[in-house]
Amino acid sequence: MEGFMDALRLLQFEEYGAIAQFTRSDAPGASCDSFSSLNLGLHVGDDPEVVQKNRRIAADIAGISETRIVYAEQVHGARVAVVHADDAGRGAFDTADAIKGVDGLVSTARGLLLAILAADCTPVLFYDPYAGVIGAAHAGWKGTAQGVVMETIKEMKKLGANPEDMLVALGPAIRGCCYEVDQPVTDALEDMYRKLATREPIPFRVSERAAERTMVDLPTLARLQAEQLGVPHGQVIDTSICTHCMPGFFSHRKLRGKAGRHAGFIAIKPRRLSLRGRMR
């Protein structure tokens, strides 16, 4: 159970041979003040050398080399890239070489860790253990409105994944208890919701504080998108953590833009060297 308290591990994914976890802001890292302590965001105003140290710590907790991690640029869109073994390390040491223009990454490469950074937006992890396909997506309100979760699943299908076999995890995010949005955001998310075949009510409620504002639960919209593409309800794991009113994760809104970033990590575990293999 080593490292259990340092990251929120997804045991359902691990059971099927994946590394899947959400890093915690309160894991022992090197950052101070509002970035305390395991900030993994290089572009949030924290000392880059300290962030690099934190990224090494996070890689150790996940049990994978930091040189095997791939980051997406994350532009609040819905484009998804297929990444391969030779993309290992992209964005890990320099944000300038992260995978450009995408908010979703998918892969079949064993031992390659896909990383999504967030602080209120929903990090979403995907795994089809039978087809050996993984995915990771960054779903803030803009990406959610553009259907980034559905786009990620579509790209995974092209690699042979079957939504019926997929596990999907919704990471810590600002939830309906705290996420108050204005009319344009409400309208954009409502438009997306109307295109879904769900019979579930829209996860909005009226703000008690301001009549022209609405409380929205983004992770529920992410789940409905996964279900729209055929992922069974019981295979969507919702961590149910609100970054804004619960401890342990960064909240952009709560820290008024001075927040660090936690990460969603997913990899298909590298094969262990077998002794028998070596003897031959």
CA distance 20 to 13: 6
Number of residues that bind Zn ion (CB under 5 A): 6
CB 273 within 8 A of CB 131: no
- Closer CB to Zn ion, residue 99 or residue 170? 170
The answer for 101, left when phi > 0, alpha when psi is -120 to 50, beta otherwise, is: left
Shortest spacing between CB 223 and Zn ion, in angstroms: 17
Helix (H, G, I), strand (E, B) or coil at 25: coil
- What x-and-dash track marks residues 154-183 binding Zn ion by CB under 5 A? ---------------------x-xx-----
Residue 31 has a CB neighbour count (10 Å cut-off) of 21
Q: How near is the Cβ of 231 to Zn ion at its closest, in Å?
A: 25
Decide: is 24 part of the binding site for Zn ion (CB under 5 A).
no
Nearest distance, CB of residue 175 and Zn ion, angstroms: 5
Q: Which is nearer to Zn ion, 157 or 244 (CB)?
A: 244
Rule CB under 5 A: is residue 241 a binding residue for Zn ion? no
Select the residue interacting with Zn ion from 62, 166, 242, 266 (CB under 5 A). Answer: 242
Q: Which H or E element spans position 216?
A: strand 214-216
Region near Zn ion per CB under 5 A, out of 26-34, 187-195, 236-244, 262-270: 236-244
Give the shortest CB-243-to-Zn ion separation in angstroms. 8
Pick 31 or 239: Cβ nearer Zn ion: 239
- For residue 169, the minimal CB distance to Zn ion (Å) is 19
Beta carbon of residue 240, minimum distance to Zn ion (angstroms, whole number): 10
d(CA 184, CA 200): 22
| Terminal C-alpha separation, the chain | 33
DSSP per-residue letters across 87-156: GTTTTTS-GGGSBTT-SEEEE--BTPEEEEEESSSEEEEEEETTTTEEEEEEE-HHHHHTTHHHHHHHHH
Residue whose pair of structure tokens reads 């929120």 in the numeric block: 8
Indicate whether 244 belongs to the interface with Zn ion (CB under 5 A).
yes
Binding Zn ion by CB under 5 A: which of 183, 245, 257, 271?
A: 245
Q: How far is the CB of 217 from Zn ion (least distance, A)?
A: 10
Nearer of residues 11 and 245 to Zn ion, judged by Cβ: 245
Quote the CA–CA distance of 196 and 234 in Å, as a whole number.
18
Q: Which residues are bridge partners to 161 per DSSP? A: none
Query: Which residues sit at the interface with Zn ion, rule CB under 5 A?
Result: 175, 177-178, 242, 244-245
